Chain A
Amino acid sequence: MSLTKVSLIDVVKKQYIYKLKAYSQVFMSLIFLQLLAVLFSMNGVGSMGGSTGGSVELQVKYFSADFVAAFTMLWGFITAILITTKAYRNDDFVFVANRISSNLSNAVFLLTASVVGGITAMLSSYLLKVIVNYFFKSTPILDAPIELLLGIFSTILYVFLFCALGYLVGTLVQISKAFTVLLPAAFFGTLILEGLSGKAGTVANVFDFFFTESSLVLFIVKIIVSAGLLFSGAFVLSNRLEVRG
């Protein structure tokens, strides 16, 4: 029993600062993945070619930070799973801590990671631009203005959503290792079944729910509510984990 009473916010704050340092290696994998994505994007993320039967034949190559954003989302997902593993969880008990403070500090850490991931992902589109512009000057370039702020904001939200999903998945796996097999099997199974039946099913609907939302306000609400639900789920489930003595 402790003689001094520590407030929850203080503990969360301390844990969060500690985690920023202790989990800093996740940012190394972020750099690695983003650079890998930039490398993959250097040949263009899409192309179009064709002739209209007239005198002009077109060949267009498209460049964008699509891969970087997608890789960053995956990174968020994996990072969230990673910090739910035992090795990381035990770090929390360097401090006086309980499940609530541990979960909250994890959520704040993941939010920070999403912000860092989102910002760097969007900035990397400039890296790609400079590389293509200065090192591959073979073709003329049409330049569309990059919607930087909107890009950063929406990517942060997406990464955070994937973090929340990863956190729930990670927590489930910690409860029972059976989920390591069950979850991927359920996901890919549904995907394959939907693919074979040719009908839009659960995965497609969930995908549409977020990725085709054209209203920014609704999109924000959807992401915040979904991430909130996913985190709450994880918080509730984590109480079922064994108590560390």
Chain B
Amino acid sequence: MMLMVPLLITAIIVISLAILTARAVNKTVFRKGKFSYSQRVCLIFSGYVAVLLICVVLDTVYPVKIVNEWKKVDTKVLEKESIDLYDTALAGKIAKEGSEFLRKKWNFDYNGKQLNIAAIQDEYLNTSVVVERKNHNDGKIEAAYYQTRSSVNGMDITEFAHPPRLELAENGLLLRNPKKSKIKFSEFTNVFSVKQFTEEDFFGHDSHFSEGQSILYLRIPKDLELIDKTNINLNYVE
């Protein structure tokens, strides 16, 4: 019901405007003689059509080209990539098979027996953490961040996705969400009378956004015990 109010108001404004213009024009028409007026209308209308045609030409000659640098991707391929990467990580083969998705690496020296691992409180962490125990105790924690490609409407926007922040503090390993990048863009869509035939959303406009699988892969010394402080949900390599 509430949605109808603005629609009704717009409809009323448009109808009144149209009637008023038609009436106002009408009055002058019949006083001044129709045919000289119709010629003027013809001229103005031709001008209007000419402007529209110029716009068609301009758009054809200089098409919108601002997001040319965004590569086209197949979202189905991306979905498979994400699932595969997670499976590879759990199988402990990510260093070999997922190397193309490696975004960042960290190395920390740590000789303690226990290590707290925590995310900043009240932050929802969008990264899966997978832990692999080494065969030996070398006092080194190797962290690697992998992320598959992200896309919006079939355009690759991976470059906008930042890695999370990782710090080794006194009380443990601290995980922070990545710095957010904002992507603003405009999109031209077809008119609704076309969309009903192209199986697009008739009323709304939708963009398909898929963020790639992000995995923080930790390789820790054999006997190091990880203590999950903030329900990060640690997954261990099988």
A20 vs B202: C-alpha distance in the bound complex, in angstroms?
35
Q: Is the CB of A151 within 8 A of B190?
A: yes
- Does A32 touch B at the CB level, under 8 Å? yes
- A92 vs B4: C-alpha distance when bound (angstroms): 40
Q: How far is the CA of A231 from the CA of B48 in the complex (A)?
A: 30
A115 interface contact, C-beta 8 A: no
Contact B21 A28 (CB under 8 A): yes
Encode contact with B along A39-82: 1 for CB under 8 Å, 0 otherwise: 00000111010111111111111111110110100110011001
Interface size on B, residues (CB 8 A): 76
> With an 8 A cutoff between CB atoms, is B196 at the interface?
yes
A140 on interface, CB distance cutoff 8 Å: yes
Of the 9-residue stretches A5-13, A100-108, A117-125, A237-245, which lies at the interface with chain B? A117-125
- The reply to whether B52 and A74 contact each other, CB–CB distance below 8 Å, is no
Residues of B within 8 A of A124 (CB): 52
How many of chain A's residues have a CB under 8 angstroms from any CB in B? Answer: 82
B150: chain A residues at CB < 8 Å are 54, 56
Give the docked Cα–Cα distance between A141 and B217 (Å): 36
Contact of B83 with A by CB under 8 A: no
Cα distance, A229 to B102, chains bound together (Å): 66
Does A133 have its Cβ within 8 Å of any Cβ on chain B? yes
Does A29 count as interface, using CB distance less than 8 angstroms?
Answer: yes
Given contact pairs A22-B38, A56-B161, A129-B188, A195 touches B207 in the complex (Cβ within 8 A): no
Q: CA of A71 to CA of B193 in the docked complex: distance in angstroms?
A: 13
- Tell me if B197 and A150 are in contact (CB < 8 A): yes
Q: Which residues of A contact B193 (CB under 8 A)?
A: 69, 151, 154-155, 158
Assembly CA distance A150 to B196 (angstroms): 11
- Total A-B pairs, Cβ < 8 A: 241
In whole Å, how far is B145's beta carbon from the nearest beta carbon of chain A? 11
Interface code A200-230, partner B: CB below 8 Å = 1, 0 otherwise? 0000000000011111100100000000000
When distances are taken between beta carbons in the complex, the residues of chain A under 8 Å from B63 are 143
A181 to B7, CA, bound (A): 20
Tell whether B25 is near chain A: CB-to-CB under 8 Å: yes
Task: State in angstroms the CA–CA spacing of A36 and B17 once bound together.
Answer: 10
Within 8 A of A (CB), among B1-50: 1, 4, 8, 11, 14-15, 17-19, 21-22, 25-26, 29, 34-35, 37-38, 41-42, 44-45, 48-49
Chain A residues packing against B (C-beta within 8 Å): 20-22, 24-29, 31-33, 36, 44-46, 48, 50-66, 68-69, 71, 74-75, 78-79, 82, 87, 120-127, 129-130, 132-133, 137-144, 146-147, 150-151, 154-155, 158, 188, 191-192, 195-196, 211-216, 219
Partner-A contacts on B (CB < 8 A): 1, 4, 8, 11, 14-15, 17-19, 21-22, 25-26, 29, 34-35, 37-38, 41-42, 44-45, 48-49, 51-53, 55-56, 58-59, 63-64, 66-67, 124, 126, 150, 152-153, 155, 157, 160-162, 164, 177-194, 196-199, 202, 204-207, 209, 211, 214
